[in-house]
Amino acid sequence: MSTEGEKTESEEGMPPATIEATPEEEKETEKTQFYPSHSLPSEETEVFDEKKIEKMKEIEKKLDDILGLIEEETMQLSEFIVEEKSLMKESCIFLRKILKKLRISFKIPANVVYLIEKPKNIFLNDEGHLILVYEDGRVISKPLEEYSPEIIMTVIWEILPELANSIRLYREKISRRVSFFDKVKKEFKNVFRVFASSESESEEYMEEEPEKDLSKAIEEE
């Protein structure tokens, strides 16, 4: 005869007994269940929370302000991009004409120009082409305006001092020529005045001689 303790040990190893629901109980569980409003989940009650609604209004206002700022900045950015491209191209064209007129080229330090692959030498020739020479012998030559704005700015900034000096020297050269021609013109003008004066006196003499001859002939008669 088994004791109470033995029953407990044998029952622990067995699965719990299942209780089948009656048809009436199944129908009862399938019915829609209703809850009072105060017992609804918190996610539903947040929609009707006045503080939450005010917070959402503030967020929407800030969003509208930020989007409006982005729209304004985008419009200005678009204008600046178009203007930058135009000014950059025109500047490079004028620079090319200046270099060609002065017949000068520049060697630019390779370490000052930002390039992914560093060249050995960088030149800006009198045709306005930026020439990159690499260690392996490769040479890339393109018009300056075809490079990025940052590279163009760097190149122009590097050549400006020497370009200004070249323009000064060219101005001095022109100034010496102007001085030369000014002096020559004055002397030529003086010579011309002498010749003009001499020709005028000769013409006056030629006009006076026939009159004297006529007077002398009348007196002799």
Report yes or no on 22 lying in a domain: no
Of the candidates 130, 135, 121, the residue with the CA atom closest to the CA atom of residue 151: 130
Q: Amino acid letter at 161? A: P
Report yes or no on 54 lying in a domain: no
Report yes or no on 220 lying in a domain: no
Report yes or no on 144 lying in a domain: yes
Report yes or no on 21 lying in a domain: no
Report yes or no on 31 lying in a domain: no
Residue pointed to by tokens 């070249």? 166
Residue 145 sits in which domain range?
Answer: 79-207
The domain tally of the chain equals 1
Phi, psi (rounded to 5 degrees) for 141 = -130, 120
Predicted pLDDT of residue 1: 46
Report yes or no on 95 lying in a domain: yes
13-29 pLDDT, tens digit per residue, is 554 555 555 555 555 55
Report yes or no on 159 lying in a domain: yes
Q: Which residue ranges of the chain lie beneath pLDDT 70? A: 1-48, 201-221
Q: Amino acid letter at 68? A: G
